[in-house]
Amino acid sequence: MARIGRFLSTSFGSAVLGGLVVAVAGLLLIETGVIDTDDDSGSSLAAAPLTRPASQSEGKGLTVNEIYDRASKGVAFIRSQMTETTQTPFDLFPQKQQSTATGSGFLIDGDGHILTNAHVVQGAQRVDVQFSEDGESQQAEVVGMDPSSDLALLHVDDTQGATPLPLGDSSKAEVGDPVVAIGNPFGLDRTVTSGIVSALQRQIQAPNGFSISDVIQTDAAINPGNSGGPLLDSSGAVIGINSQIASQSGGSEGVGFAVPSATASDVVSQILENGSVQRAYLGITGGEITPEIAQALSLPAEQGVLVERVFSGGPADAAGIKGATGQGTVAGETFPVGGDIITKIDGKDVTGMDEVISAVNEHDPGDELTLTLLRDGNEQDVTVKLGDRPGRIQDSQAPSPSVP
């Protein structure tokens, strides 16, 4: 029964579900709060020593110092001015409080476009950017943002002295590859740390509750203020945008997460072309079935995804997919029962929610998916027309951590 505890209640749409909550351990959105997660399957490998080349492949690759010299001039220090309205029982009227969030970003072209995290600039009345310690600070325009990938695109007029950082091919990254992170942790501008790719194809939760797929895990030290900074490979190309850490202390513990450059390239293209990003939405929550869970709950399948909840009015609801009708208890834990079981998507076997989320994220609104379901022990195919993802998950009753 060792794997029963790995049943993950996750949301199917193209999103990760859950709020910003205080937790002893969890994913720390490295500017704004903590995101809870049930994923404890990853482990980091040993960090790359700073004295060796950033790539050990037959002596090829740049040293950390060489990468820093080439890339640091393109890394920006970002300050976001926020205004919050608060009121206590002792206040006659609501009070406005000014606050400042700091983070990182980097120049991606010669036209003044800067890539950063959405959570660094979201809700800001003013965003200022500075490229070098003695450079002039200038106000930036927020061109657009995609909370579902936690990415935002800024624009500044003056890029003198700053060197654009090319987006690399994150699909070529392999576990064990050396990487370098540059950013402004705790306001210490243009700090460099190094490590390796600890794992690939992780899923983390975006600020709006949806899932970010194909995330790169690294043990390069990342701390508050690194948000939006580049994760670079041994050639100096950006393969990720540093976004979150898993932490018990609130600081770096060698488990950082970067949104892949492939996702960033798509987001930038859509923002520049359309001013916004469109993403597909399925609208369910569910969890992985293991043989142990299947046996304990007398399920008709030993693998797949048990649909827990179907969001009213969503694409899955329109297609007639059924959520759980009750609960079962196994070894003191409660699990949903009576819902449809997803065994295949477009003919491919499904073993867990990560695969459902990835399948939805790879499609556009209006695309169709064929889900093979087990309902009351009978197999049937259901065609779902994916919808437009809502801005965020509003339903307070929806479970955490993820929704596609």
Which residues does the annotation mark as catalytic?
119, 150, 227
Query: If you search the block for the tokens 């859950």, which residue do you land on?
Result: 18
Q: Tally Cβ neighbours within 10 Å of residue 221.
A: 20
CA angle 157, 163, 166 (to 5 degrees): 105
What does the chain come to in residues?
A: 404
Q: Which of 289, 259, 282 is closest to 364 using CA atoms?
A: 282
Contact between residue 194 and residue 214 where contact means Cβ atoms under 8 Å apart: no
| Cα–chain center distance at 15 | 9
Query: If you search the block for the tokens 């990853």, which residue do you land on?
Result: 42
SS3 of 83, please? Answer: strand
Q: Which of 343, 365, 236 is closest to 294 using CA atoms?
A: 343
Beta-carbon contacts of 88 under 8 Å, excluding residues fewer than 6 positions away, are none
Residue 239 structure tokens: 């393969």
Contact between residue 9 and residue 334 where contact means Cβ atoms under 8 Å apart: no
Q: Tally Cβ neighbours within 10 Å of residue 99.
A: 11
